[in-house]
Structure 1
């Protein structure tokens, strides 16, 4: 019997060309230019995003130092691909090929925006309520609908809340949404919400 018929995929097979996607240079250059621009923006806002440390332990332990070093190294390392992007962006057909870098990203962007809304929701609704809403929305967008998945989502959130609150002893402040309810609601349920 020929070898290719009984061949079982192994880790070594990952090194073969069959597992590699074709990387379009124009798409790679555009993605690199966007990362470079993001790193430059992050470097510019770094002084606004950090505050000096409480103890004088030297510049290397200041909150700004390692993000600064990482961003500068990234900007220096990304300068070559940025130059390639700037050089090639005016070629005919470059834009169409470069847009392939974003092909199929719609669902990932939906998840990313949902997660950002969830993070903001935690500060307003509290960890538990925001987690329940986020989990149910995530299951819905993923196509996992129905009573079984609703219950699974609720069970996962309950397990996470118990792990944080009871197992690890991590408690969050009372969420602002609790001000809309009578005091007894916040006093009895607030620490779990």
Structure 2
């Protein structure tokens, strides 16, 4: 392989990674809108405890984000059950931790509801925003390097994109 071809492949991979991060960001923003919208509905309209509103809104956004990122961002044909199980393991750790810190930072005991009428230590929406940012970063890394490792660009969309990229490279040789 000549040095120019290697440099071109690195450039193409870098471009793919950047585009992948951008798509993940855009889908995460859409999932974030679902999470914030449903959180607001549950908290403001139904008067749920902050931790419960957070938990249900998180589940809704995870399902949305998983579906779109598997198909369009990572373009993976990896087994859905296995992939969802791995994402489930991520959330098995992330959800209790984030539910706990949501309750702790808003001044509420998540098990008894004590303190629900008190003034929160930190504004609920500030806690929600910070939690969403932490989730965004850690979930991208987990999905890219654990869930879809070795299976990126394996679905029909991914294969078509790789073929298109290969044809473009051949025209420029």
* Structure-1-length-normalised TM-score: 0.27
Look at both structures and tell me which one has the larger radius of gyration over its CA atoms: 1
**As a proportion of its length, which structure holds more helix?**
2
TM-score (norm 2): 0.29
Higher relative contact order (CA 8 A, sep 6+): 2
